[in-house]
Structures are given as structure tokens and as C-alpha cells.
Amino acid sequence: MDSAIRLKILNRHIFAFLRHLTVKKLLNLFLAEYNMLMKKSYVSSYPYILKIESTNICNLKCAYCYENRRMPSEGERSFGRVSPDNFKKLIDEIGRYLFKINLYGFGEPFLFPETIDMIEYATKKNIGVGVSSNMNFEDPQLPERIVTSGLEVLIFSCHGVTQESYSKFMVKGNMALAIRNIRKIIEERKKSGSKTPLIDWQFCVTRFNQGEIESAKTMARELGIDQIRFIKPFFPE
């Protein structure tokens, strides 16, 4: 990961830190860092950032992702999703120490309506929430619901600026649909006077789309996307 990408991610963390800062969270952060620095075998602090995979189910079959969405074999992790009750129980237990929750992993969080409920619940507890999505949904109400949920960061996974290059990586994906939804989210954000969600376009550079970087930068500016990150995947091209 290059320094420019690291800086953009750091800026997101700083934004969440300042926005959700409390004395209790600050003291816990210092304690957690002290425990790590001292390599304590017993940790006397709570997490201050959580990564929760809300689901590992997805509506696309992106190249190299989760073994191209094959059905799990015996002994492997099965497909599933976090229940809202378990999520709320966790937030009630440690939410007062959390600055941020990254509510995504291998799956598509917005496949299930309870994701919006979980975002709203965490937001009301003064916790920033980040979600990564391909935004391939024919749901005209979803953009408005995303904005009103209080979602803080939306990582927009879109690897190309033409359907031809996009579909080579994001198998079964519809780029026009995804862009339309992002445009609608930005419109809803302006209408409501909200600064969130911050939209971070994540663009994986492959041999199929490496000639589209400048076009992607132009598209991002025209759409009003807050930032775009070009990353080199760890897998072979």
C-alpha cells in the first residue's frame, strides 16, 4: 500500500476520532495502545475500532474474491450473516469505547435490510460506521435510507469506468446501475445538508482497466465523490 493511500485511510480514522471523541473513549484508547506497546499478555482495555463482517454473502462473483463464490466445502466457513440482536448486544456492551465500526468483509452488506438498522443503532450510540458496497441494487429507496441512517463512510467498490473492463473483474455487475446509485446518494446528501457518508471510490487496478485511471479521476470529480483510491490487488493479474 503506497503512502498516498495510507494517508487517505488515516484521514478517515482521524475524522472518526474527532467526531466521536469522549473522555472515556480517549482513556481507553491510551490504555489499549499502552497494552500493545508493553506487549501485555492480559489486556485491560476494550477495542476502540471494530471490524464486523455483517455477511459473507454477495450478489456478484468478482474475480479472485472468496474463491469466486463457490459453495463452501465440508469443514469450511458457511455463508451467513450477523443477527441484529447479536449486533445490538455487542454495541450495548462495548459501544461506549468505540470510535468506529467497519461493517463489512467478503460479503455485500446492503443485501439485507437489517444492515441499515444496525448502522442507525451504532450511529445513535455515537459510533462511526463504514461500509464497503458494490451498489448493484435496483432499490430506489436505498440511497435515501443510506444517507438518513447516519452512515459515515461508504467505500464504493468499482473497478473500471466502462462496462467492458468493469465486468471482467466484477462478474455479474452492472456499472451503470452502481454509478446511478452513487449519484443518487450524493444528491440525497446535498438535499439533507449532510456531510456523510464520505464516499471513497476503491478502484483495483488490473491489466483490464489500467488505462482508465485518468478517466476514473475525471468521473469521480464530476460525480462529486470525496476521494478515489487506486490499489494494486495482492493477487496475480
Label residue 18 exposed, middle or buried (CB < 10 Å: 0-12, 13-18, 19+).
Answer: exposed
Q: For residue 189, what is its C-alpha cell?
A: 446528501
Give the Cα separation of 33 and 45 in Å (integer): 9
Give the Cα separation of 135 and 42 in Å (integer): 41
Give the Cα separation of 133 and 164 in Å (integer): 20
- Which pLDDT score, from 0 to 100, does residue 16 have? 85
pLDDT along the chain (237 residues), means of 10: 68 85 96 93 94 92 68 75 96 96 94 96 97 96 96 96 92 95 97 94 91 95 94 62
- Which pLDDT score, from 0 to 100, does residue 237 have? 46
Is the overall model pTM greater than 0.95, yes or no?
no
β pairing state of 128-133 and 100-102:
parallel
